[in-house]
Amino acid sequence: MTTLDPVRWLREFAALIDANAAALTELDSAIGDADHGSNMRRGTAAVVAALDESAPAETLKQAGMTLIRSVGGASGPLYGTFFLRFAAAVGAGELDAAVFAKGFRAGLDGVVARGKAEPGDKTMFDALAPAATALDESLAAGTDLPAALTAALAAAEAGRDATIPLQARKGRAAFLGERSIGHQDPGATSSVLLVRAARQALA
Ligand code: ADP
Ligand code: MG
Ligand code: MG
């Protein structure tokens, strides 16, 4: 049975953030304060620097704490909480399809508990939530982890793209009102990279 190594996941996430940092900041310059790429790059680089040989749940917990400490901005506590809740749901196990789906759902619930985002608020929730649903559906259908992550990635990308016509109701972009319409949400964009990193980490 395929399992995901969280160290590989976090390394891939950091690499994708690094490669896309300028694009993320560009998106945030349109509807925010032009720091999402630099925030996330600082945070994920700190996560990689702190990686050690811990068990999966401990690795993910450390990542969450490091993101909360080092990202700054709205996205730090939100991604940090995602990983802390994910870690708590993993227990002593490896990240197989069932554990990954359960962890991802717990992480999403943590993002909502912290940020109170609802569907269509034009946030990272709009990419993460469809991915969580795709993971749950894949699990129910008996799909293996690679195929589940491929489905989750497609769902996250569709959710990210669907943020473009939305008017932001959470975060800095909400201050723009109607002027936030027509722009892709930076956090939904980095959330796609989180899912893509998991898929790539299996390869
Ligand atoms: P800041 O806005 O503080 O500069 P970032 O630029 O790093 O922080 O992150 C902005 C992203 O955070 C947004 O694009 C959005 O996806 C996400 N975000 C902001 N507020 C919330 C919230 N309440 N719930 C979920 N996501 C949020
Ligand atoms: Mg910002
Ligand atoms: Mg900021």
Q: What is the DSSP string of 34-70?
A: S-HHHHHHHHHHHHHHT--S--HHHHHHHHHHHHHHH
> Residue 158 corresponds to which amino acid?
A
What was the ipTM of the complex prediction? 0.99
Domains of the chain: which residue ranges? 6-202
Mean pLDDT of the chain: 97
Q: How many CB atoms lie within 10 A of CB 166?
A: 21
Query: Average pLDDT in the 104-114 region?
Result: 98
- State whether the beta carbon of 75 lies less than 6 angstroms from ligand 1: yes
pLDDT at residue 93, as a whole number? 86
pLDDT at residue 175, as a whole number? 96
Which ranges of 71-185 does DSSP label H, i.e. alpha helix? 75-90, 97-115, 125-140, 145-161
Question: What residues are paired with 95 via a beta bridge?
Answer: 4
Query: Average pLDDT in the 26-33 region?
Result: 98
The tokens of 32 are what? 């925010």
Rounded CA-CA distance 71/87 in Å is 19
- pLDDT over threshold 90, residue 110: yes
pLDDT at residue 148, as a whole number? 97
- State whether the beta carbon of 186 lies less than 6 angstroms from ligand 1: yes
Rounded CA-CA distance 172/23 in Å is 18
- State whether the beta carbon of 172 lies less than 6 angstroms from ligand 1: yes
How many Å lie between the centroid of ligand 2 and the Cα of residue 33? 4
Q: Which residues contact 136 (CB under 8 A, 6 or more apart)?
A: 101, 105
Classify domain 6-202 at the CATH class level: mainly alpha
What is the number of the ligand closest to the CA of 175? 1
pLDDT at residue 100, as a whole number? 98
Find out whether 148 and 138 touch, Cβ atoms under 8 Å.
yes
- Residue range 34-80, pLDDT digits in tens: 999 999 999 999 999 999 989 999 999 999 999 999 998 899 999 99
- State whether the beta carbon of 155 lies less than 6 angstroms from ligand 1: no
Half-sphere exposure of 118 (CA within 13 A, CB side): 2
* SS3 at position 103: helix
* SS3 at position 140: helix
Q: How many residues does the chain have?
A: 203
pLDDT at residue 17, as a whole number? 98
- Residue range 125-142, pLDDT digits in tens: 999 999 999 999 999 999
- What DSSP state is assigned to residue 91? T
How many Å lie between the centroid of ligand 3 and the Cα of residue 137? 35
- pLDDT over threshold 90, residue 203: no
How many Å lie between the centroid of ligand 3 and the Cα of residue 24? 12
* SS3 at position 170: coil
How many Å lie between the centroid of ligand 1 and the Cα of residue 87? 22
- pLDDT over threshold 90, residue 179: yes
